[in-house]
Structure 1
Amino acid sequence: MTDVDERAASKSAAEHGDFAEMIEAFRELRDALCTVNPPADQLADATDTLRLMTARLREFAAPEGSRPARRDGVPDRFVTHPVLVPYTSVRTGETMTGSVEFTIAHLGGVGVHGGVVTMMFDDVLGTFVAECGQPDCVTAYLKVDYRSPTPIERKLRLTGRIDRIDGRKVVVSGEIRDGESVCAQAEALFLRVRQGQR
């Protein structure tokens, strides 16, 4: 790696870290909005403040491919994406283990909203498939069984495994556990896109 390459990599890492801090601040705001009941005389001022910040950020609109929230190749892309659920994972061959902790913003009727669980599986398993040497795959099928309410504000165990690879098709499964209790199980089919489809 040349000096120029090293400086570019260092700058990219710094930018990624700074953006991730802003995303974390956004998540704190999102969680706060789910737990507060401001007095009426404070709502207009708070709303104006949020709209001013939105307008300020829109001044930095960037083309697809250079947006940290959706940049291909960024490790742990969920860190810089405001909607995806943060998690940690370690891959060993064709299996994965990790952890996830949902917040008050993810709460549904009882436990974590089922749609949030499904979105997390789609992201976790899709990233896992790519890390296993199957890039440029899209979700063709995703089935989730909800076995018990998924709790918030508790570290949960994630697992995933590659069940089968057949040409362009990758079959994968995953699970969320709270201790010994299975919260949700997923099975998915990812399909590698043909050249020219992206």
Structure 2
Amino acid sequence: MDADVLQVLARTHRPLSGAAVAKLSGRSYARARACLHRLVEHGLVTAQDAGPAVLYALNRRHVLADAVLAAVGSPAAVEAFLVEQLATWEPPARAVVLFGSWARGEAGPDSDLDLLLVRGDTVDADGAWGDQVHATGQALEALTGNAVQFVQVTGSQLATAVREDQPLIAGLRQDGRVLLGPSLRALLTAGAAA
């Protein structure tokens, strides 16, 4: 509960009403309000009267504010780390797409980090490719504490999946976010045409 409320407050520099915090955090007003009161008591959140409403903001001078901001920014840090790793791959991936709960921003401690890896049709899944996939998976698991699930396909296999409208493609269309390669629309259009 505290994490959801703090995440909302960390993503804005404007004070928000309790109702706005509740709505943006997906929590009931009563629970969000109780949480906000507790965080105000600890000094991590400030409250100011604004007519009949009370407006809340993250106290960015609090000793724990940097930790809150780092936690809120951690998904972006994980993606940046992954993009750095992918830039060193040889042979390179044609495309890498994050999908599932991580892409939706709903990942929890038991969530897998799901990645679609598209390699060239002539790239052997074993050898150098397999070694770099394995090393990157281990590094991501150490960084996040979450299991990493790679879905590996060649360009031809992706084209088949698109033509057959396999469940993977529906998941990619719903929440896929490209980390490397062409846009998702271009990737799936090219896959259908291949």
Same fold? TM cut 0.5: no
Structure with higher helix content? 2
Kindly name which structure, 1 or 2, has the bigger radius of gyration based on alpha carbons.
2
Which interval holds the TM-score relative to the shorter structure? under 0.3
Structure with higher strand content? 1
TM-score where L is the length of structure 1? 0.25
